[in-house]
Structure 1
Amino acid sequence: MRLRNGILALALFSLAACGESVPASTSVPAPVSADDLAKVVLKVGDQKGGSKTLLTTAGLDRTPYRIEWSTFSSGPPLLEAASAGGIDIGAVGNTPPIFAAAAKAKIAIVSSSKGNVDSDALLVPSASPLRTIADLRGKSIAVAKGSSAHGQILLTLKKAGLSTQDVKLNFLQPADAYAAFTQNRVDAWAIWDPYTSQAKLEAGARVLTDGRGTANGYTFQVAGQAALADAGKNAAIKDYVTRIAKAQKWSDAHREDWAKAWAAETGLPVTVTIAATAQGPDLPVPLDDAVIASEQELADAFTGDKVLPSKVDFASFVDKRYAPDLESVR
């Protein structure tokens, strides 16, 4: 499962007035007792078919603290809520943390996962004459602005010696982009699973190029600074991110079960979710220098294309306090 659907641009992320950025690494509170942990209410931001469904399906939803779930349509408002203290933690794709960092949000990236990048695709209709990235010159490409697919387009074009000035980007969210693609109102569509699988199965889409060599496939658990500074919530977050990592491992070993649960929650055809999960789910990876460098490259691509107003220092929004606990899961 990916958490990139509906990711919006920085213009929709209303944190620009939050003031100066807060260093991600803060002092770690002391451990709490089991009795104190039982009193904690962890406020978790989710997206449909996301973490709550994953934990429940994997049988890992019985926590020693209470979870209060809030559903968000996309990553930016979820991170806005985390920065403001409306939620304590939530999962997002690889781009919302970059835009949140640019808006100087009071958040920290605390764990990372990686999915396959084969399904991060640039699609064309089956009968399209386009065969190479160079053929895109002057053509229209549907893409969600500020999404992982947007970043992938920047890097893909750059790799081929092109830029966004050589193509026509049509900024459309997935549902509108799917309609435009199937009605031949755009020449290509940059998108991710499950939409990639849906377009291939239902519209006969052809993959012009995929994310290998350009996309990084990362997703993140991102916490609010206030929650990380609270002893009880810090303890709950440590347990929560560990459970999510275990659930991701479970989904890899039970792909069909996860596909059925995903379809039931989202309303997608089970044939689509089975095709998407066959590519492999997101799995926990160390929040290490390689992850940070890849995210910095993506941030720099947005800055270079003037989507972001200035350079973002991604590393300053990373907090590795839970790394030892997560290492035992991997």
Structure 2
Amino acid sequence: MRRRLMPAPPLPPLALLLPLALLVTACAGNSAAGTSTDIDGHGSLTLNVGDQKGGSEAVLRAAGELENLDYKIKWSTFSSGPPLLEAVNAKAVDIGGVGNTPPVFAAGAGSKITAVAAFKGTSRGDAILVPNDSKLTKPEQLKGRSIAVAQGSSAHYQLVASLKKVGLSLDDVEVKYLQPADALAAFTTGKVDAWAVWDPYTSQVLLSRRGRVLTTGDGVTNGLSFQVAAPAALKDKEKAAAVEDYLRRLRRATAWVHDHQEEWAKVWAKDTGLPYDVALASVKRTNATRFSVAVDKPLVASEQEIADTFTELKLIPNKVDFGDFVDTRYNGDLPPSTTPARTSEGS
């Protein structure tokens, strides 16, 4: 059944698109920490938490989960996962949230990191986009085409996996390694044939009617994100207890989003500068599908597949045993990582 496409309206002003460059929750980049804020709690212990714009602090606050703390929280804001994990490795951050690919690259670099909690959602927001007037209708047709993607990102792996599914490899396409702001410009000006990216960029392009989905990562990638801690913090009895409490609060806040999608979208839009309709579309497609899962053997195997893929591509220099970089002490009675991702009503 064919859908008639409406003429594309003018692109939103660049000022509306720039906030999206801050939202690289999935992925890559070289940005350092931004401003830090403190959350006062009872007691003398301070938990140093790495965050990304519109991330853990915002959702915890919106869900009312930053009240009655027995410890203080010092937030450090990063624009992406890799520099956040560099801070974890340097013991400047005790714990922080990243997507499914940065931990693999950090492990490959021999960083001192430990994945202590995982969240699973659909991968429908991870997409390969093409312009509305593109002649491409299926991923098999990407052969010989130029594709923008952020190197070392979850979108990078999604691109590799999506190509593999249809019998292609990175050697069959022209990869343009571009960070999101540059990729967005290249995509909207026709300098690349496709763009492998994640939400909320996916929602931005779709709502501005400047592109459509060629394929998504749903059923191709694992849809995981992680809380990653510094091993030194986990060896400290008091900090390990604070980490446990923090993870409980974050899990409750993540569950809260599912039943408060409009409310969370308003908070997220205000915190990041995203247009509300883009924030809501991203929440429905991606954020509200997330739930806590155990850090278990199938999860390790899934991340190991990502690690092996990038090792074969010679983007990770050494063999990685991802099982050496996890700690299962906080699993409790969480569902297994193989539990199917839930869908968000109305998405």
Q: TM-score normalized by structure 1? A: 0.88
Equivalent-residue separation in structure 1 for 2:323 and 2:139 (angstroms):
32
Identity of aligned residues (%): 52
What is the distance in 1 between the residues matched to 2:241 and 2:106? 24
Q: What per-residue deviation string (whole Å, max 9, x for no partner) do you get for residues 208-249 of structure 1?
A: 001122121110000001100111111100000111011000
Cα drift, residue 4 of structure 1: 3.0
1:11-36: per-residue Cα shift (whole Å, max 9, x none)? x69xxxxxxxxxxxxxxxxxxxxxxx
Q: Separation in 2 of the partners of 1:252 and 1:6?
A: 23
Name which of 179, 187, 210 aligns with 1:204. Answer: 210
Distance in 2 separating the partners of 1:130 and 1:326? 42
* SS in structure 2 at match of 1:324: coil
- State the partner residue of 2:280: 274
Are residues 1:66 and 2:89 paired?
Answer: no
Matches of residues 176-255 of structure 1 in structure 2 within 5 Å? 176-255=182-261
Letter in 2 for 1:210: T
**CA RMSD of the aligned region, Å?**
2.0
Query: What is the letter of the counterpart of residue 198 of structure 1?
Result: Q
Instruction: Quote the Cα distance in structure 2 between the aligned partners of 1:183 and 1:157.
Output: 24
SS at match of 2:49: strand
CA distance in 2, matches of 1:185, 1:64: 53
Which of structure 1's runs of 4+ aligned residues deviate more than 4 A?
none
Distance between the aligned counterparts of 1:326 and 1:44, measured in 2? 23
TM-score (norm 2): 0.84
Q: Which runs of 5+ in 2 are unaligned?
A: 1-22, 32-41, 340-347
Aligned twin of 2:118: 112
Contact 1:3 1:219 in 2 (8 A): no
Q: Which runs of 5+ in 1 are unaligned?
A: 14-36
CA contact (8 A) 1:142 1:188 kept: yes
Aligned residues: 303
Q: Deviations over 1:57-115 (max 9, x none)?
A: 00001221100011111111111111111010000000110011001111100000012
Aligned partners of 1:119 and 1:237: how far apart in 2?
Answer: 29
1:88-167 aligned within 5 A = 88-167=94-173
Greater RCO (Cα-Cα under 8 Å, separation 6 or more)? 1
- Per-residue Cα deviation, 1:125-149 (whole angstroms, up to 9, x for no partner): 0110011222111100000000000
Which of 30, 44, 48 matches 1:43?
Answer: 48
Counterparts of 2:25 and 2:155, CA distance in 1: 9
What's the CA shift for 1:6? 4.9
- Offset at residue 282 of structure 1 (A): 2.4
Aligned to 2:306: 298
Task: Indicate the SS of the match to 1:38.
Answer: coil
